[in-house]
Amino acid sequence: MYSYCYMSEICSGYLKIPKRQMPSPKKTTNSQASTAQPTRKNDNPVLNESKISNYFGENVFGPGAQKEFLSKSAVTAIEDAAKHGTPISHKQADEIAQGMKEWSLSKGCTHYTHWFQPLRGTTAEKHDSFFEPLTQDTGVEKFSGKSLVQQEPDASSFPSGGIRNTFEARGYSAWDPSSPAFIMEKGGVKTLCIPTIFVSYTGEALDYKAPLLKAVSFIRKAATGVAQYFDAKVTDCNISLGVEQEYFLVDEKHFQLRPDLMLSGRTLVGSAPAKGQQLEDHYFGSIPNRVLAFMADFEEKAHKLGIPLRTRHNEVAPGQFECAPQFEEINLAVDHNSLLMDVMESVAEEHGLKVLLHEKPFKGVNGSGKHNNWSIITNTGVNVLSPGSSPEQNLQFLTFFINTIKAVYDHADLLRASIATAGNDHRLGANEAPPAIVSVFVGDTLENVLTDFEGKKDAKAGSKAAGSIKIGHIPEILLDNTDRNRTSPFAFTGNKFEFRAVGSSDNCASSMVVLNTIVANQLVQFKKEVDEGVKASKSAKTEDVIKTILRGYLKDSKKVIFGGNGYSEEWVKEAKKRGLNNITTTPAALEAYLSKEAVNLFVKNNIFSHKELEARTEIRFESYVLRLQIEGRVLNEIIQNYVIPSVIRFQKRLADNVNALMAVGQSKAQLKAQLEILSEISALINKLHEDNRKMTNERSKANKIADAHKRALAYCSKVKPLFDSIRESSDLLEQLIDDSDWPLPKYTDMLFAR
């Protein structure tokens, strides 16, 4: 018997697979539903069977397919592996592989792939054929348990931060049975995709999924320990995640004419349109027909892949849209988000559109994020972040609520680091985006509840809580009180926290590893303090010990709570007074991963080894530099080969015109405007040329720096500022010259053309 997830000889003990991934489907009677389930649609903590079957679309190796292609015992084996982490035997793995193969062949697949998420934005696949030739004219379709469980892709070109030298190219991908296999259809070709983790020969994780599974396993255990204070029947907790994904759509024809969009994902030059988002008429406005057709098609394909997409709408900026699935178990939700981005891009192409997932594709226009809605739900079906009708008496809620706030306060820099990318730097703190200061929004009602709680005003006469810390399931009332503060990076929204600062192109796993680890670590600390407190004082009730500890936490942690306008200058000043950091650049933000506290936190809790942490941070410094390197090169090219030649052509026409007019006797005074434009153009060309040269110089200086961290800092402080001044000159030129001479599609074309 071997661990179903990977080869035990390489990784034994390195990763405990978490138990059941999704809240177990259970039938609820009406009376149960009225108590255990809050009334709001999206708030349903228990996913019932009919919903589950909707989620598993026809291209997912889900319950329906299993029944047909697997024996009863194999179905149970998969379910137990996913639910309880029970290992799958060689024999069962062989049978499951056989079933998967038959199922995918019946659906028209010829190839399979281990699907994983390496440490760069996208997903990776290497397709193998089921077909094995036997003789010259015969062959057989084969797929063994071994091929299902483990593969050895040549991994030398995936980033490893120095963990794996290129001569030791081996990396292993290993099956994650908690995330169902699916069939991906692209360009009419269907491939069986098996979700896997990706590790090096020496056992270090080289992907996003492996540490996420570890962090989730950690928080499930930690949350269960704390939830048991309130209900002894709780034996497990699930972490749920719903990811709202923002994106832009542009016409593919425009996209193809913009080397900056094609190579760097964002426009490096481009003057703001006359009509921007000032009117905010796009937000929730009607969706253009062509976009709607794309959305419907994309949703259908997503549903087939088991991604439970529910909402779609326009976003704040013109050309910007959003979609959101129903929340799911976090590992599945992260896989689904990666898959969703992939599907979105390929479906858009079929509609002549291009999806822009960059955090800030257009200057001066709203950026895109990925709101991570997160909560903890017990296996008894209770969302511990549901405040109920009287949060002041709901000690279980207050416990999880305050512990989360404390974790965010204590580790704000790590959360900031988790979302740091070159793309997100343009968004954080910029127009219509959460600031780089990590703060928590809880809404007035809950802020008052916390103030009263801290001041011991919580014990009301006749309180339901008297004599017991079990509050029961109270219907929601708070949803409308926690008004929507769109400016907060970390907001409590009714019955969940929403981490909004995550970048739209990012893999959510990075931020979710940090969030789950810091909260789990905090819950473990809390439980330790409570148990010690109870032991120390024989007479005190657990409830009172809990309250005293939580009050102690609030003293400092409440500094992170902020309900005002996060975009304002006053907040930047106020945050400074409160001692909250405002880290505006990626190279500075990433340093948090290398701090003593971070190393302690991750290593002690077995999320990352010290080596893994260093390697990951190195990869992120490198990715930052790589992004800026590409942007720098593309910008050089755009200025030298597109902008300057076009401007000169216009200038020549103007000069010819001036000459012609002078020849027929017009005076210089009469040609004042034209002469002025000519000089302005010359001055701007000189400035552009000079800055462009400076930028090339700074780039080559920075490239010589061997240390990735220092190289990133140099790119940030020496190279990047020149992008802005180059852009400024180019945008001024764009405003000066004839539209028909401008060599690139303009913002108006891209944002408003449908």
Instruction: Give the whole-angstrom CA distance, residue 532 versus residue 528.
Output: 6
Q: Given the rule CB under 6 A, which of 146-154, 325-333, 403-411, 638-646 is the region that contacts ligand ADP?
A: 325-333
Instruction: Give the whole-angstrom CA distance, residue 106 versus residue 653.
Output: 66
Q: How far is the CB of 493 from ligand ADP (least distance, A)?
A: 5
Q: Which does 692 bind (CB under 5 to 8 A by kind): ligand ADP, Mg ion, none?
A: none
Q: DSSP string spanning 145-161?
A: HHHHHEE--B-TTS--T
Q: Which does 116 bind (CB under 5 to 8 A by kind): Mg ion, ligand ADP, none?
A: none
Taking CB under 6 A as the criterion, the residue among 383, 394, 504, 516 binding ligand ADP is 383
Instruction: Give the whole-angstrom CA distance, residue 493 versus residue 597.
Output: 29
* Beta-carbon-side half-sphere exposure of residue 700 (alpha carbons within 13 Å): 5
Sign of dihedral through CA atoms 62, 65, 66, 69?
negative
Total site size for Mg ion, rule CB under 5 A: 1
Taking CB under 6 A as the criterion, the residue among 85, 153, 159, 242 binding ligand ADP is 242
Q: What part of residues 524-543 is at the interface with ligand ADP (CB under 6 A)?
A: none
Q: Which does 327 bind (CB under 5 to 8 A by kind): Mg ion, ligand ADP, none?
A: ligand ADP
Which residue is associated with the tokens 């405990």? 16
State how beta strands 189-200 and 111-115 pair. Answer: parallel
Q: How far is the CB of 210 from ligand ADP (least distance, A)?
A: 23
Q: What part of residues 285-324 is at the interface with ligand ADP (CB under 6 A)?
A: 324
Q: Given the rule CB under 6 A, which of 237-245, 299-307, 586-594, 641-649 is the region that contacts ligand ADP?
A: 237-245
Q: Which does 42 bind (CB under 5 to 8 A by kind): Mg ion, ligand ADP, none?
A: ligand ADP
Three-class secondary structure of residue 189 per DSSP: strand
Site string for ligand ADP, 34-73 (x = CB under 6 A): --------xx------------------------------
Nearer to Mg ion, 358 or 371 (CB): 371
Taking CB under 6 A as the criterion, the residue among 80, 244, 631, 691 binding ligand ADP is 244
Q: Does 497 bind ligand ADP (CB under 6 A)?
A: no
Q: Which two tokens stand for residue 633?
A: 């090169």
- C-beta nearest to Mg ion: residue: 371
Hey, how many other C-beta atoms are within 10 angstroms of the C-beta on 168? 14
Which contacts (CB < 8 Å, 24+ apart) does range 478-486 have? Answer: 478/387, 478/388, 478/389, 478/391, 478/443, 478/445, 478/446, 479/40, 479/43, 481/443, 481/444, 481/445, 481/446, 482/442, 482/443, 482/445, 482/446, 483/443, 483/444, 485/441, 485/443, 485/563, 485/566
Which residue is associated with the tokens 């794309």? 294
Q: How far is the CB of 327 from Mg ion (least distance, A)?
A: 11
Instruction: Give the whole-angstrom CA distance, residue 373 versus residue 385.
Output: 12
Total site size for ligand ADP, rule CB under 6 A: 17
Nearer to ligand ADP, 241 or 408 (CB): 241
Q: Which does 324 bind (CB under 5 to 8 A by kind): Mg ion, ligand ADP, none?
A: ligand ADP
Hey, how many other C-beta atoms are within 10 angstroms of the C-beta on 256? 12
Q: How far is the CB of 325 from ligand ADP (least distance, A)?
A: 6
Nearest to 90 by CA among 150, 17, 131, 141: 150
Q: How far is the CB of 484 from Mg ion (least distance, A)?
A: 8
What's the DSSP call for residue 411? T
Taking CB under 5 A as the criterion, the residue among 303, 371, 547, 720 binding Mg ion is 371
Binding residues for ligand ADP (CB under 6 A): 42-43, 240-242, 244, 324-327, 373-375, 383, 493, 495-496
| Contacting residues toward Mg ion, per CB under 5 A | 371
